Amino acid sequence: MSRRILVTGATGYVGGRLAPRLVEAGHHVRALARDPGRLRDAAWAGDVEIVQGDLEVLADVRRAVEGVDVVFHLVHAMSAGGDWAQAELVQAQHVAAAAKAAGVQRIVYLSGLHPQGQRLSKHLASRVAVGETLLASGVPTIVLEAGIVIGSGSASFEMIRHLTEVLPYMPAPRWVRNFVQPIAIRDVLHYLVAAAEVPGDVHGAFDIGGPDVLRYGQVMNGYAVEAGLPQRPIAPLPVLTPWLASQWVNLVTPVPRAIAMPLIGSLLHDCVVEEHRIDRVIPPPEGGLTGYRGAVRLALARERSGDIESSWRSASSAGAPSDPLPSDPKWSGSTVMEDARERVTSASPEAVWRVVESIGGDRGWYSVPLLWSIRGLADRLVGGVGLRRGRRDPVRLRAGDVVDFWRVERIDHGRLLRLRAEMRVPGRAWIEFTVEPAQLESGGSGARYRQRAIFLPSGLGGRLYWWSLVPAHHVIFEVMANRIVAAAEAEAR
């Protein structure tokens, strides 16, 4: 039966994969996003109704649920910093109240596996509180409590992957001996899609997990086997607290401290399936649930091919500015610092654009790698995102994508790319690339390449920051402009 479905968190890791699968299942899907522009370039954007709104604004939620049969609540706020647990609770309260008032027939929430009767980490306690709020809404609700989600682009998978690949020997906290029950993202999506059509009398929380129960140390070495790496000796250390462990993860993986801390906190418990009531409501996938190593193989294959539908990187980083560049920052009353470069080249606009769109990640920044690395490390040390986030796709970008410590704010394919800085800076920063056709002095045709670094400083500290970096910027941005044009010309040759 076709249903009218609202998906919150459609710009996130799970929501970005669920929305197109609900469409494939024949449902009418509405996606709620604070910034609809981040969904503009999604392959499925034309198949869904996209509405703008903030879950912390009750009026927005009421508008979003109007005429809806099912609400999928998939928003988590831990990457936003501050009192994210309180923010999650307020959002759940708004969804619960609006859904009840609108006559919604079903709420579905994705929570986390947790032990009963124990003091939980802040991360798991928040999941439980949100689930209980939705269950008390008066609307039939299904809360799916999942283990560690394994899939290309998931934060848990990235943490496992980088810890295992970077460290030949792992000093680890005692919780590496705790038991976990990972689940493949494809199986999570199976349960979520099926939950939309569960009869209305089903109400409650249900554990879901894959077929394998493993110690966390076995999870890391299971990855090593699938990645063709030697298994790593692991030494549990009693002094490595969750806070210290999160600093370590922040330095050696792309997962920033704001996300690493809650994830690590949830590993302080054994998190395994304690009941199998879900089997009476939603049968397992045809062919059975995917084992842990099978899920790793699938995730690695997707990452190696660059075919990553969604990623944890889509989540906004704590403290990162979210306001777009003013259309005319000088007239907006802001102090504007700018470094502008322009080149005319014999390469075609298409060739220049291909170089621009593939910037960052493994291909680097066509500049001075050492200086970029130092800036990335400095950002990690102060709790920023650093350079390790990379890219979702090595050659294609869409609005909302992460590129190292930048985020795509605007992209007009073939013409303009604007990146907003998410590193820690005393102000707001952007870098913008434009490409357009140009006539050469020789009479032929080519391209005009423009590059602008824009900084809106905050107070005296922001101004001193920019002025202190002017010499370095001169080198970095001059070399960048020259090498991007040279790379395009080399491709043409």
Segment 170-199, tens digit of pLDDT: 666 666 778 889 999 999 999 999 999 998
pLDDT at 319 over 50: no
- The whole-angstrom separation of Cα 12 and Cα 6 is 14
pLDDT at 77 over 80: no
pLDDT given for residue 443 in this prediction: 82
User: How many whole angstroms from its chain centre is CA 218?
Assistant: 26
Asked which of 3-7, 71-75, 83-87, 185-189 is least confident by mean pLDDT, the reply is 83-87
Average pLDDT, the chain: 85
pLDDT at 68 over 90: yes
For the segment 40-51, the average pLDDT, to the nearest whole number, is 88
pLDDT given for residue 79 in this prediction: 58
Segment 375-407, tens digit of pLDDT: 877 877 776 777 677 788 888 898 888 898 888
Segment 445-456, tens digit of pLDDT: 999 999 999 998
- The whole-angstrom separation of Cα 399 and Cα 442 is 37
For the segment 216-234, the average pLDDT, to the nearest whole number, is 85
- The whole-angstrom separation of Cα 113 and Cα 143 is 11
Q: Check residues 69 and 120 and name the one with the higher pLDDT.
A: 69
pLDDT at 316 over 80: no
pLDDT given for residue 318 in this prediction: 45
- The whole-angstrom separation of Cα 152 and Cα 157 is 7
Segment 234-243, tens digit of pLDDT: 776 665 566 6
Segment 108-117, tens digit of pLDDT: 999 988 888 8
Q: Taking the chain, what is the end-to-end CA distance rounded to the nearest angstrom?
A: 56
pLDDT at 374 over 50: yes
pLDDT at 260 over 80: no
In this structure, are residues 432 and 452 in contact, taking their beta carbons and an 8 Å threshold? yes
For the segment 463-470, the average pLDDT, to the nearest whole number, is 89
81 Cβ contact partners less than 8 Å away, ≥ 6 residues apart: 258, 318, 319
Asked which of 258-267, 268-277, 386-395 is least confident by mean pLDDT, the reply is 258-267
pLDDT at 328 over 60: no
In this structure, are residues 3 and 196 in contact, taking their beta carbons and an 8 Å threshold? yes
Q: What does the block give as tokens for 80?
A: 């936003």
Sign of CA pseudo-dihedral 18, 23, 26, 30: positive
Percent of the chain at pLDDT > 70 equals 84
Asked which of 11-25, 55-69, 152-166, 336-350 is least confident by mean pLDDT, the reply is 152-166
For the segment 22-26, the average pLDDT, to the nearest whole number, is 95
pLDDT at 317 over 80: no
| Residue whose C-alpha is closest to residue 451's, from 369, 346, 341, 344 | 341
412 Cβ contact partners less than 8 Å away, ≥ 6 residues apart: none
pLDDT at 80 over 60: no
pLDDT band at 246 (very low <50, low <70, confident <90, very high): low
Domains annotated on the chain, with CATH: 4-314 (3.40.50.720), 337-492 (3.30.530.20)
pLDDT band at 357 (very low <50, low <70, confident <90, very high): very high
Phi-psi region of 408 (alpha: psi -120 to 50; beta: other; left: phi over 0): beta
pLDDT at 46 over 70: yes
- The whole-angstrom separation of Cα 155 and Cα 161 is 10
For the segment 69-85, the average pLDDT, to the nearest whole number, is 79
pLDDT given for residue 332 in this prediction: 46
- The whole-angstrom separation of Cα 261 and Cα 243 is 7
pLDDT at 139 over 70: yes
pLDDT at 265 over 70: no
pLDDT given for residue 367 in this prediction: 86
In this structure, are residues 300 and 292 in contact, taking their beta carbons and an 8 Å threshold? no
Packing angle of the helix pair 257-266, 242-252 (nearest 10 deg): 130
